[in-house]
């Protein structure tokens, strides 16, 4: 079941402007505040539409499937495009600063999700300048909309951000190792065995350390094979380092960070307040009732 990525949504009201009353407020609660019953239903339906639309694009790229189901894929694509167009318009309509949302990351993703379909029809002359398949492939940008609704994605992003310095140091160490080993293999093996330059040796060192080993360049001398064996053993150890760093940060944040909500203060527009809180922790103003499940029905009757 889809969950809301509240770490990405907790500043939406401040950035885009939360309406105070009327139909725009109700529409905003459904689209941006996923703690309500209708908000959860909206997110689940949108998630299903995103996954289905991306699956259609992927399947349509297979020649045998495309030749058989082309007309069906076209109908489905227009249905998905119409649905995402209405969603995009609704998001712009229910915020007080639509231009700011349109320039945001997810606003651009929303636009890219529908623009290629219209460009392929409204500007057929583009086929002389760019392959229409490029426009079709741009629809895969819809997959980025998934990140807005998956809570674990935001936690992983925070873990990567917190680990950036450690990962940078690790990458610098790996670069030093592959440069030294690549240069050493260039000296030991030489051009006659395929190591025509130091960059070629570095390329071999990278593929060997990452345990990919394409086999296009292989050592032939005994010393070269010893170096290659050493690189393989080093590769096993180095691959575990970034996994451990990010995994530790991920676990720490999942344990120590309480699950935020999209509850909003109407005075300062700050979000993430506890469901039991009566006053805003930022400005001290009284908080409105928490919109969640049963309270959602009362909101709509008001």
Token pair recorded at residue 190: 């030489």
What's the longest Cα–Cα distance across the chain?
Answer: 82
* Nearest in space to 33 (alpha carbons), one of 275, 201, 204, 225: 275
**158-194: pLDDT as tens digits:** 777 777 888 888 888 889 989 999 999 999 998 998 9
**97-119: pLDDT as tens digits:** 888 888 887 788 888 888 878 87
Are 153 and 159 in contact by the 8 Å Cβ rule? The answer is no
* Nearest in space to 274 (alpha carbons), one of 89, 5, 15, 10: 10
Q: What stretches in the chain show pLDDT beneath 50? A: 1-10, 127-133, 293-302
Which residues, 6 or more positions from 291, have their beta carbon under 8 angstroms from its beta carbon?
29, 33, 35, 36, 263, 299
Which residues, 6 or more positions from 136, have their beta carbon under 8 angstroms from its beta carbon?
57, 60, 61, 116, 120
Cα separation, 42 vs 241, in Å, equals 40
The confidence score (pLDDT) of residue 225 equals: 92
Sorted by where each starts, the structural domains of the chain and their CATH numbers stand as 6-149 (1.20.120.350), 162-256 (1.10.287.70)
Kindly list the distances between the CA atom of residue 148 and the CA atoms of 43, 98, 105, in Å, as whole numbers in the listed order. Answer: 10, 18, 10
* Nearest in space to 112 (alpha carbons), one of 104, 129, 250, 157: 104
Which residues, 6 or more positions from 246, have their beta carbon under 8 angstroms from its beta carbon?
156, 159, 160, 163, 167
Token pair recorded at residue 275: 């469901």
What's the helix, strand, coil split of the chain in %, to 5? 70, 0, 25
DSSP state of 76: H
Are 80 and 56 in contact by the 8 Å Cβ rule? The answer is yes
What is residue 286's three-state secondary structure? strand
């Amino acid at each position: 079941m889809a969950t809301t990525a509240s770490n990405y949504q907790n500043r939406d009201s401040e950035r885009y402007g939360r309406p105070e009353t009327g139909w725009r407020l109700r529409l905003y609660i459904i689209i941006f505040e996923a703690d309500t019953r209708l908000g959860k239903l909206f997110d689940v339906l949108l998630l299903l539409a995103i996954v289905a639309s991306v699956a259609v694009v992927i399947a349509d790229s297979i020649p045998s499937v495309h030749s058989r189901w082309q007309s069906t894929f076209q109908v489905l694509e227009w249905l998905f495009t119409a649905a995402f167009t209405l969603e995009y318009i609704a998001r712009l309509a229910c915020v007080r600063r639509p231009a700011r949302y349109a320039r945001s990351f997810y606003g651009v993703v929303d636009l890219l999700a529908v623009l290629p379909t219209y460009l392929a029809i409204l500007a057929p002359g583009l086929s002389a300048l760019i392959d229409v398949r490029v426009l079709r492939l741009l629809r895969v940008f819809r997959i980025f909309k998934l990140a807005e609704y998956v809570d674990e994605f935001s936690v992983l992003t925070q873990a990567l951000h917190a680990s950036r310095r450690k990962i940078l140091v690790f990458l610098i160490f790996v670069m030093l190792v592959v440069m030294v080993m690549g240069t050493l293999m260039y000296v030991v093996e030489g051009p006659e065995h395929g190591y025509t330059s130091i960059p070629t040796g570095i390329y071999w060192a990278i593929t060997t350390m990452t345990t990919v080993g394409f086999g296009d360049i292989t050592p032939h001398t005994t010393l070269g094979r010893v170096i290659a064996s050493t690189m393989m053993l080093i590769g096993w150890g180095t691959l575990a380092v970034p996994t451990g760093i990010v995994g530790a940060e991920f676990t720490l944040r999942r344990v120590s960070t309480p699950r935020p909500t999209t509850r909003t203060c109407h005075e300062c527009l700050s979000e993430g307040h506890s469901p039991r809180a009566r006053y805003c922790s930022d400005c001290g103003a009284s908080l409105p009732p928490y919109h969640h499940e049963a309270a959602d029905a009362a909101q709509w009757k008001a």
